[in-house]
């Protein structure tokens, strides 16, 4: 099971939010310094442009380029709502690019993205109580997350990042029940995000046959070290 250290960005700084609420912002320093510290320790990272997600266009492509220059595989997203912004993110060399809002509001855009970039295109499916949220989690929809996931697979998406907004930033464990429900209906690379904090969390996700998990606040706050993350990944490979 692959574990992805997460860096969320606002104003050039690493931040974490609770349940996607921008008023809960906590800062954790400089992304360039942290990336340098992680270089050679983990193969892949998760870089999310929260400022871009709120603004509707990417704002931190320089950080993605820097991560690539250090040799990381990069999964990134945030604010990609036009063909031009998608092309700009792809040109950084990002290995996986997450589409969010636009994937649900403009199906034609998603289809064209898949046709152009294939498996490099993934979808960030963010939900609260089973309902999809868009626009940087600031707007709820009536879309059911399970039904949406099924439709994404039919359209050709091979990777889905699922964030349980109610668990995000709380350090109280992921929503394993929801991840199991998704696993039962989609046979694609499935990534868990939100609340992953302990080795037991990783073990439960592995038992649920989840392919990857994002670890954010637990790592940044010091509740888990990058070395522990590496050990867990090896243990539950």
Active site residue ranges: 8, 126
Structure tokens at 133: 């949220």
Bridge-based pairing of strands 131-134 and 139-144 is antiparallel
- How far is Cα 134 from Cα 44, in angstroms, rounded to an integer? 25
Bridge-based pairing of strands 121-128 and 131-134 is antiparallel
Q: With H, G, I as helix, E, B as strand and everything else as coil, classify residue 82.
A: coil
* Nearest alpha carbon to residue 237 among 203, 198, 214, 188: 203
Q: Rounded to a whole number, what is the distance in angstroms from the first to the last CA of the chain?
A: 4
């Amino acid at each position: 099971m692959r574990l992805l250290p997460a860096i969320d960005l606002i104003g050039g700084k690493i931040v974490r939010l609770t349940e996607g609420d921008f008023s809960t912002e906590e800062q954790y320093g400089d992304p360039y310094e942290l990336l340098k510290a992680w270089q050679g320790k983990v193969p892949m990272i998760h870089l999310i442009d929260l400022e871009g997600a709120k603004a509707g266009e990417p704002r931190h492509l320089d950080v993605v380029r820097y991560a690539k220059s250090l040799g990381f595989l990069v999964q990134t997203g945030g604010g990609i709502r036009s063909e031009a912004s998608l092309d700009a993110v792809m040109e950084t060399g990002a290995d996986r690019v997450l589409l969010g809002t636009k994937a649900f509001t403009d199906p034609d855009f998603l289809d064209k993205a898949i046709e152009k970039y294939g498996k490099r295109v993934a979808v960030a499916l963010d939900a609260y109580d089973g309902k999809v949220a868009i626009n940087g989690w600031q707007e709820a929809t009536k879309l059911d997350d399970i039904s949406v996931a099924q439709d994404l697979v039919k359209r050709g998406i091979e990777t889905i990042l699922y964030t349980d907004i109610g668990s995000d930033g709380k350090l109280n464990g992921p929503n394993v029940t929801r991840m199991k429900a998704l696993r039962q209906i989609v046979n694609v690379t499935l990534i868990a995000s939100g609340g992953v904090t302990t080795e037991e969390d990783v073990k439960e996700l592995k038992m649920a046959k989840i392919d990857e998990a994002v670890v954010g606040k637990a790592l940044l706050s010091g509740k888990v070290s990058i070395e522990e993350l590496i050990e867990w990944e090896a243990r539950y490979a």
